[in-house]
Structure 1
Amino acid sequence: MPGRPAPAVLPPSLRAWIGLIAALAALVVALLGFLYAGHSEPGTVDAWVHSAVYGVRSPWRHVALATDFLGEPAGAAVVVAAVVGGCLLLRSPRAAVLVVAGVGVTVGTTTLLKHLVGRTINGGYLSYPSGHTAFLTALALVGALLATGRLGLGRTAGTLLALAAALVAGATMGWAQVALGAHYPTDVLGGWCTALALVPATAWLVDRTADRMADRPDNTGRHQPH
């Protein structure tokens, strides 16, 4: 007897608004990349924010370093593994796929964009967009989408939850990156917008692929149960 279809990781109620936000975010990423391509100095806004945030002392420097570690390969691997494990314990393999795919696509794109844009900081380190900020924002956004579906939130509540989660995660990691001198503030904004642009698109692709596989006939000619 067929089971119930697996819930979508991009709730249908959010698709229109989240899609619009993703499109606007992609535009911001492209615009900032064009403006700062090949630069190695902060812009006016960068300099103003940097002067207010950079050089924090203990205990806040320790907080910044701990936050930064979450975006390093070792820290990110531990966090992603823990979240994927939680999804599997909740018997939601589609959600687990989104965690890996959403974060992987977002971080991979920031790496590619860094080489395309060529903006540098601290004597030659590629900086735009911030991969650390993109990583934590993507993870928070994935969590918000999954919570929206599991809790059955409507369009307004779900959209607000997604934006709030992304904003808190992005602001937290962004503050750490600027405070430690690893990124310009506009790098942080670019990383944040990269996650906003790519996670919804990845979630939609995960849903579409999973639904197609569920509807594909098996070896006996029968359709696979959902």
Structure 2
Amino acid sequence: MPQTLWNRIEFSLLAAGIIIAGALWGFVELSEIARDAAPHAFDTDILLAFRVAGEPNNPIGPSWLEEAMRDITALGSAAVLIYITAITIIYLCMIRRWGAALFVFVSVAGGQVLSSLLKLGIDRPRPDLVSHLAQVHTMSFPSGHAMLSAVTYLTLGALLARFLPGRATTLFVFGVAVLTTLMVGISRVYLGVHWPSDVLAGWCAGFAWATLCWLVSRYFLRPGEEADQDMR
């Protein structure tokens, strides 16, 4: 194996390890905040910053912004993420990318299971400091929207990056995936259905899981190997 290629692999392993370790450390620290009986000042200050001063039921910004935030938060809903994932898997199967299809399914489904288990670990109620501008039915920590949007969009971004030409295209795809994930998380705080620490924890868990899946794919999913290139 050429030395330059080996150096790149070592750097990828190191970078992935740092991301996973940092994300897990962040999640543990945020879980301690979530276990506190009283809301942390960090959470309350940011949550109230999205509301008009003295009016906890009135979000900042024009009326259309509230509706836009509901549209953005839908990008992290289970229905939308399942729809996007299913379409991706069906397409990959149609072009006989069996390995890639399995990778997407295991990554996203595994992230969903992990998110559900993490919510069972800490029974944190939803914020009662401000009104909820969207319907919610589960516990607050961590944010499932933030975590699953990170898992889904970053996983799909990593998959696309393996087959797209040029570094600029790769950076663009990852940029869109990260931006979408961030917007979904911010929308959850704006709508008052999550504490900021819930969203940060969701991002930490989602980024750690997506990075782990990406690392596994580098060694078990080779471009072209999972496809029948001759389409026989």
TM-score, normalised to structure 2, is 0.71
Identity of aligned residues (%): 23
Counterpart in 1 of 2:46? 49
Give the Cα separation in 2 of the matches to 1:42 and 1:71: 25
**Alpha carbons 2:81, 2:152 under 8 Å: kept:** no
Change (3 A) 1:162 1:38: farther
**CA displacement at 1:138 relative to structure 2:** 1.2
TM-score, normalised to structure 1, is 0.72
Structure 1 vs Structure 2 CA RMSD: 3.2
Deviations 1:165-199 (A, max 9, x none): 55312211111111111111111111111111112
Aligned length: 199
**CA displacement at 1:208 relative to structure 2:** 6.1
Matches within 5 A, 1:143-222: 143-151=156-164, 164-165=175-176, 167-205=178-216
User: Alignment partner for residue 114 of structure 1, among 112, 119, 125?
Assistant: 119
Change (3 A) 1:134 1:28: same
Deviations 1:79-114 (A, max 9, x none): 211222343345422222222222222222222112
Letter in 2 for 1:149: R
Counterpart in 1 of 2:133? none
**Alpha carbons 1:102, 1:203 under 8 Å: kept:** no
Letter in 1 for 2:179: V
The reply on whether 1:102 has 2:107 as its aligned counterpart is yes
Give the Cα separation in 2 of the matches to 1:201 and 1:35: 25
**CA displacement at 1:200 relative to structure 2:** 2.5
Change (3 A) 1:103 1:83: same
Q: What are the ranges of 5 or more consecutive residues in structure 2 without an aligned counterpart?
A: 1-7, 52-58, 129-136, 226-232
Give the Cα separation in 1 of the matches to 2:207 and 2:173: 10
**CA displacement at 1:49 relative to structure 2:** 1.7
**CA displacement at 1:147 relative to structure 2:** 2.9
